[in-house]
Structure 1
Amino acid sequence: MKLRSAYKILGVIPARYASTRLPGKVLADICGKPMIRHVYERALRALCLTELVVATDDRRVFEAVHAFAGDGAAVMTSPDHPNGSSRAAEVLERKNKEGRDLDAVINIQGDEPLLDPAMIDEVAEALFSGPDVVCSTLCRPLEAEGDRSNPNAVKVVLGLDGDALYFSRSSIPYPRSTPRIPVYEHIGLYGYRSGFLRRYAELPMTPLAETESLEQLKILEHGYRLRVAVTRCGGAGPSVDTAEDLDAVRRMLERTKNP
């Protein structure tokens, strides 16, 4: 699917400075570049995006992005957004007021410095896989047995149509009987049709989303379908949530530079 010519798709990288577990991580140095630059440069290599911006509420992040990517690459947004999708919705509204008339938005995590840009294209392909699909995301098989009970590895179960049935930090599905089916780990990239993103940002929070602390459950609880594609890409590096993750990414990139 040649998405670049068929649709106008905005890539948004929400980037908060005040991360709870690792404050300032988006500007943390990784092999001579701030982490947000690694994410931005990888996302630029996706084939589907018409435009790419970093959305932040912190002047330090804005100025850092402006320094390496120039005018228009960063957008200052409200500090009151509850999540990245809400922040992306603000950027979409601004772009549409400027006459961009965008078809879709891909929400790209700002703490994935080893992101495979092909995954962004996979999210877009899933989003436009049918006229009734309004949002999409990715998953991959969860191989390590220990990760099945790890609450930081978010699991997803799928229906026969490829739409999400449920997301959880618990191990799902429970292997009561054989044959065992694959366990899938959710990958936090999201694609939204423009009209749905505006609607989604205004929906009230829901009990399951609050209980599991998983934003995407709000979509399901309000009765919308979420298309999930199993990625064809190999394993990227870890997302950066802790100082240990940051060190691991630095080591991986150093090995790539010095094989």
Structure 2
Amino acid sequence: MKVLGVIPARYASTRFPGKPLIQIDGKSMIERVYLQAKKSNRLDDVVVATDDQRIADEVIRFGGQVQFTATDHQSGTDRCAEVANLYPEYDIIINIQGDEPYIAPEQIDLLVSCFDLPDTQLATLIKEIHTQEELFNTNIPKVIINASGEARYFSRQTIPFIRGKAEDQWLSTHQFYKHIGIYGYHALTLQAVTKLKPSTLELAESLEQLRWLENGFSIQTRITTIETIAIDNPEDLQKISSLKD
């Protein structure tokens, strides 16, 4: 089983233009993500997927591998699929978020382990919720899993609803999970899901993974204990100000 890590990187972010090129403790964000991914024990190679020459130049500068992709992709999944077509020798594609400069290599390895199960089509990570703030934050997608660890549904609302209990008792009544946005795909499944049209549930919740579930694909999960820090806007840089190499 050969595994390729792909880091989609766009320059034209609405909330934070040029985000991959910002400097964090002397290195660009895209370099930090790339170097963390290279520490993974389960990735055979890592490539940055971009449509911007400035990002490509930066990747080349620090000695990374880069692949140009089309400018009209609607998601990182679509960008990964284009790269996967250019690397047909890889069985598994891991979509690594380009805005998590301190992503833990252990998380990548954990995600890849989902594909040790021969029938895994798609995979992602989840994490236990322990605070009321996270539990009822609609910006944090929640996920329900079955006994085999497969995702059954994702929602921005708190799921499941705990009947007969006050909301401040929910965490002591049931184990809730939030979604960690890193994905793995079997190469053949990746090509299949990118051909799907946006689904009803996806449009309702604005969650791409619901398109896959609604069309009958299974998503295997693993539970991580590591908290990820994503940089969505300039203010988020304060979250990582205390982190060092």
Residue-by-residue CA offset, 1:87-146 (whole Å, 9 max, x unaligned):
0010010112xxxx21110000001112111111111101222x2211110000112211
Identify the residue that residue 174 of structure 2 maps to in structure 1.
181
Identify the residue that residue 110 of structure 1 maps to in structure 2.
98
Identify the residue that residue 18 of structure 1 maps to in structure 2.
12
Identity %: 41
The answer for unaligned runs of 5 or more in structure 2 is 166-171
Q: For residue 20 of structure 1, what is the amino acid of its counterpart?
A: T
Q: How much does 1:20 deviate? A: 1.7
Q: CA separation in 2, counterparts of 1:197 and 1:120? A: 18
Residue-by-residue CA offset, 1:135-189 (whole Å, 9 max, x unaligned):
1100001122111121221111111111111111111111225772211110111
Q: How much does 1:16 deviate? A: 0.7
8 Å contact 2:107–2:226 — kept in the other structure? no
Identify the residue that residue 123 of structure 1 maps to in structure 2.
111
Identify the residue that residue 60 of structure 1 maps to in structure 2.
54
Q: CA separation in 1, counterparts of 2:30 and 2:130? A: 29
1:126-145 map, 5 Å: 126-129=114-117, 131-145=118-132
TM-score (norm 2): 0.93
Identify the residue that residue 252 of structure 1 maps to in structure 2.
242
Q: For residue 211 of structure 2, what is the amino acid of its counterpart?
A: K
Give the superposed CA RMSD: 1.4
Q: How much does 1:247 deviate? A: 2.4
Identify the residue that residue 168 of structure 2 maps to in structure 1.
none
Q: CA separation in 2, counterparts of 1:177 and 1:32? A: 53
The answer for unaligned runs of 5 or more in structure 1 is 1-6
1:101-250 map, 5 Å: 101-129=89-117, 131-177=118-164, 180-231=173-224, 233-236=225-228, 238-249=229-240
8 Å contact 2:127–2:179 — kept in the other structure? yes
Q: Is 2:28 the partner of 1:40? A: no
The list of structure 1 runs, each at least 4 consecutive aligned residues, that deviate by more than 6 angstroms after superposition, is none
Q: Is 2:75 the partner of 1:83? A: yes
